[in-house]
Structure 1
């Protein structure tokens, strides 16, 4: 089979195709013939920061080929999606059965990788903010694979005003088309009228203006891999809060919650109330180009690899 290999740090040019044996599923694992791979910012960052060969994991969707020892609830021929922790940029990948969820009949693999993992992150971050109907929301990285879903979910959960924060004003039409009332760019000194909660997928230096954009008693949910710090005084003066959210912790410790979110996401998508946007589909051999799009923050929605 083919898989994408990462050799050395320094940028997307270090990705290349290699031949590798089809892996054998171990206890509790599924062997999946991969139909689509969702490219994520954490994986792109890993390529740029690591200094040795590492497997490129990611969101995958495809058909179950065989089962490892002890697997129940799945069968060859099932279509599933989930997060592959080993090599995911490949024709075949291993998926922990506990991380695999079914793809509904009639749904594409591309829809699955664009909706489920990114949607659960967006849904979970929103739940962590404890939104009340009529409150206002601000979503950073609002045109991203997660952000464009978070923007829509905030409205679906009762937000009276949704502000989209983006890196480039050229993304304004896209996020407005998804329901954003206002659009701001990160370089603005003032982010406009304060909001009740912020869903932040960027981190770093953006945390300071994001906290400043909160109304008194506002909440910022940080779910970025970008790090950053918040000054305690900035929280004290407005009785504001910062809440951390990590999807992996929910998937491991609260699988029933993750499953409930997944079911609702598919329902909202099937009803046409939650739109999935795919920026581009790349062939497996063009993984470096897909990483360039994510690294440049130029995507409008999800970026997907098609083996």
Structure 2
């Protein structure tokens, strides 16, 4: 193992770090900032000293025991567990056979998703499979870099390239992105994590982009490339959005069926959270494809996206930052909703 010279204890399993762990399911109050063992480096892995952690909906789904899922879908995890998937930091150690990463490299990753309870990002150190790691975009800091992995990969895998062959638990067929150039594309939940990246990707790929969010987000979304803006608090979007080629509903859930009537025959509806959708028969009658996928870790895609982040072609919007020790407050912020971009934890 190649480690930092000033690391006095070479047995990583005996070193301790600070982490945010769960010992039971519940609200934000169950998050405990405490000592935990530094993860032991396995073959094919890189140990990262974490500088920032990105929050994502799966964090609070896991924290509350996946109450939103049918009981048979709820994963069983052994407590205590460390939450989180998204990290940005600096390489501290590299397993012998790993190529392409060196001690001191600045890196970012979505760690081990989808493997529930194994990601362990809310911590000072994280072990990351090298295949899920990429060099951090040099032009942005750790706080902005960590806002990207899960949300940007989700948008990219929905809109551009799936990037994995994992079985799709949400539908029998593989998700297929659709060509975006010259198309009318509506993004619902456009100011959130997945939404604000989807606006930028659709615009980058040549679409006419209609962003749906509350009025306070209009200026930001137009800056990010939206051609039209609908304030859902003022206007029923079904009344004004018509003749669409694609709707990406970053919110999804039971209400996503209302978008079927806004789409052309031959159009597509991509709900990021497809559970609760009951419009399958109506979609068939209207000639509309409804498709979803489950985002998966992909270091090669993060490396590709790093160039777009580095150049400023795609921007990361940060809603708020909290110290790792204040993860509870960060989750309380998330529960209030109306997040503009991403919530980030900083690690001293």
Distance in 1, matches of 2:158 and 2:264, equals 19
Which residue does the alignment assign to 2:305? 265
Q: Does 1:212 align with 2:261?
A: yes
Give the structure with higher Rg (CA): 2
Q: Is the 8 A contact 2:145 2:316 kept in 1?
A: no
Structure 2: gaps of 5 or more residues: 1-16, 67-75, 112-117, 161-175
- Map 1:110-125; keep pairs closer than 5 Å: 110-125=143-158
Residues 262, 88 of structure 1: alpha-carbon distance in 2 compared, 3 angstrom cutoff: closer
SS at 1:227 equivalent: coil
Residues 208, 69 of structure 1: alpha-carbon distance in 2 compared, 3 angstrom cutoff: same
Alignment RMSD, CA only?
2.3
Which residue does the alignment assign to 1:126? 159
Q: How many angstroms does 1:189 deviate by?
A: 6.7
How many aligned residue pairs are there? 296
Q: How many angstroms does 1:57 deviate by?
A: 2.6
**Post-superposition, which runs of at least 4 consecutive aligned residues in structure 1 deviate over 6 A?**
none
Please, which moves more after superposition, 90-99 or 227-236? 227-236
Please, which moves more after superposition, 105-114 or 50-59? 50-59
Q: How many angstroms does 1:53 deviate by?
A: 4.1
Distance in 2, matches of 1:132 and 1:147, equals 16
Q: Is the 8 A contact 1:115 1:265 kept in 2?
A: no
Which residue does the alignment assign to 2:5? none
Q: How many angstroms does 1:263 deviate by?
A: 4.4
Distance in 2, matches of 1:262 and 1:70, equals 21
Q: How many angstroms does 1:69 deviate by?
A: 5.0
Distance in 2, matches of 1:18 and 1:4, equals 6
Which residue does the alignment assign to 1:94? 127
Which residue does the alignment assign to 1:282? 322
Q: How many angstroms does 1:36 deviate by?
A: 0.7
1:208-256 CA deviation, whole Å, 9 max, x = no partner?
Answer: 11223222111112333x62223233112220001222221xx4xxx5x
Which residue does the alignment assign to 1:227? 275
Residues 189, 101 of structure 1: alpha-carbon distance in 2 compared, 3 angstrom cutoff: closer
Among 145, 163, 174, which residue is 2:193 paired with? 145
Residues 72, 265 of structure 1: alpha-carbon distance in 2 compared, 3 angstrom cutoff: closer
Q: Is the 8 A contact 1:30 1:64 kept in 2?
A: yes
Structure 1: gaps of 5 or more residues: none
Which residue does the alignment assign to 1:2? 18
Q: Which has the higher helix share?
A: 1
SS at 1:190 equivalent: helix
